[in-house]
Amino acid sequence: DGGITQSPKYLFRKEGQNVTLSCEQNLNHDAMYWYRQDPGQGLRLIYYSQIVNDFQKGDIAEGYSVSREKKESFPLTVTSAQKNPTAFYLCASRGGDQNSPLHFGNGTRLTVT
């Protein structure tokens, strides 16, 4: 079954710690995305990558970092510099041309206390 896997589903961390969220896809898609969703709100773009070894900042990149060393993987690190890290994080991928839709994982809910 092709798809996007985010792990873990729930993650708890203490304030001041960096944490890395995993995102893996076996759809052979070139582009991958990270979004953040807060309660009752839409998705805000953190980072995106259109090809391996390249990525761009989205609208709320401060306090986050990414890498894209492999086509199938796009991990997101939430650093201690992120002021309000508690949120629902969604990873997506896209293949084909620019009209192609996003395929989302089922998210990681991060709680920082």
Partner 1 sequence: SQKIEQNSEALNIQEGKTATLTCNYTNYSPAYLQWYRQDPGRGPVFLLLIRENEKEKRKERLKVTFDTTLKQSLFHITASQPADSATYLCALEVNTGKLIFGQGTTLQVKP
Instruction: Kindly list the distances between the CA atom of residue 21 and the CA atoms of 35, 96, 100, in Å, as whole numbers in the listed order.
Output: 12, 25, 25
Minimum Å gap between C-beta 104 and partner 1 is 3
Minimum Å gap between C-beta 3 and partner 1 is 10
Q: Which amino acid is at 96?
A: G
Minimum Å gap between C-beta 24 and partner 1 is 14
Residue with smaller CB distance to partner 1, 13 or 61: 61
Q: Which amino acid is at 23?
A: C
Contact 81, 57 (CB under 8 A): no
Residue with smaller CB distance to partner 1, 73 or 80: 73
Instruction: Kindly list the distances between the CA atom of residue 39 and the CA atoms of 24, 75, 113, in Å, as whole numbers in the listed order.
Output: 25, 23, 17
Minimum Å gap between C-beta 80 and partner 1 is 27
Q: Please give the Cα distance from 92 to 97 (Å, whole number).
A: 15
Tokens of 75: 């991990």
Residue with smaller CB distance to partner 1, 16 or 40: 40
Residue with smaller CB distance to partner 1, 85 or 105: 105
- Where along the sequence are the contacts to partner 1 (CB under 8 A)? 4, 31, 33, 35, 40-45, 48, 50, 56, 58-59, 90, 92, 98-99, 101-107, 109
Tokens of 3: 């798809």
